[in-house]
Amino acid sequence: MYDNLTTKEMIGKIEVLKKERNAIIMSHYYQHDEVQDIADYLGDSFGLSQKAATTAADMIVFCGVKFMAESAKILSPDKTVVLPEKMAGCPMADMVDVAGLREMKNKYPDYTVVTYVNSTAAVKAESDVCCTSSNALQIVESINNDKILFVPDKNLGTYVADRTDKEVVVWDGYCNTHYRVKVEDIKKVRDKFSEAPILIHPECRPEVVTMADYAGSTAGILKFARESKADTLIIGTEQGILYQLKKENPDKKFYILSPKLICPNMKKTHLDKVLNSLENTEFEITIPDDVNEKAYQSLYKMLELAR
Ligand code: 13P
Ligand code: SF4
């Protein structure tokens, strides 16, 4: 696609089309460096959707995976939201569907369904309240029910279950990128960099998270790194985040916990796809009104409880 254009020409065209279409480009921290460079806003998954809702732009080009673009659409139903790469999905989000969740709800009728934002709009619509990786525990604690059904990430669910007195039933989903990090990886870096704090995403296995010095969302990891006095830090999340970490902290050294921390779906978006999305309004996110309304309620409830 656009093989006849140089990178500079592509960026030039993107800039022109952005103005013509009153569009903004949002990029998650896991995107390729060149995509992060052309973004108007960088952020964690839900932070970007919130930001998109407050701008006056008519069009949101969401460089991330589908559930993130869906969240942007849920919060901004009147804006045009496009996902540059149609096949950029999230295997974890796809590990639960509406039929399966309804079955589980029938099995646990008096449980409150707390759904991680890494989920489809349809599953959010079927839930009581959403949560992010940074507020999951806070949301569970503030719910007026001691019985929680946590969907779809069993690792984040277990992280919460280990820190609350409530009864938490977890769905059997997981992120196959973060799941690759093993206890041996932590032991290896601890041997080599004994002083360096280990920062980890709670989508990693619980036994790995327990060994880390900090567990939090991508935005949380960036904040911790900014505020840390350490000159070397070990990062346990998708390696795309290193680009922003190094930009923000030129005097600190960052090492990735495992070379396997690459999310193939996050890496499907390139500049040519971004250009195509602006030129041809591809690939537009559409959500049926009733689903959008119910999913909005679950996200809104989260914002209320997280206050
Ligand atoms: P954040 O919400 O922390 O940005 O994480 C998104 C994600 O997909 C983690 O795998
Ligand atoms: Fe989904 Fe994991 Fe990729 Fe995040 S890193 S988008 S949870 S597969």
Over residues 23-64, the pLDDT tens digits come to 999 999 999 999 999 999 999 988 998 998 899 999 999 999
Residue ID of nearest Cα to ligand 2 atom 2: 175
> How far, in Å, from the CA of 64 to the mean position of ligand 2?
10
- In short, whether 65's Cβ falls inside 6 Å of ligand 2 is yes
Q: What is the largest CA-CA distance in the chain?
A: 60
User: Is 153's C-beta closer than 6 angstroms to any atom of ligand 2?
Assistant: no
For residue 133 and ligand 1, the question of a CB distance below 6 A is answered with: yes
Q: What is the pLDDT of residues 139-148, one digit of tens each?
A: 999 999 999 9
Average pLDDT across the chain, whole number: 97
Non-local (6+) Cβ contacts of 209 within 8 A are 155, 159, 200, 202, 215
Q: Is the pLDDT of residue 291 over 90?
A: yes
Residue 93: nearest ligand to its CA? 2
Ligand 2: centre distance to CA 5 (Å): 31
Q: Indicate if the alpha-carbon torsion angle 173, 126, 86, 238 is positive or negative.
A: negative
- Rounded to whole angstroms, the Cα distance separating 154 from 173 reads 5
User: How far, in Å, from the CA of 68 to the mean position of ligand 1?
Assistant: 9
Ligand with smallest separation from the Cα of 131: 1
Measure Cα distances from 218 to 60, 104, 201, 242, 264 in Å. Answer: 21, 30, 7, 11, 17
211-260 pLDDT, tens digit per residue, is: 999 999 999 999 999 999 999 999 999 999 999 999 999 999 999 999 99
* The pLDDT of residue 307 is above 90: no
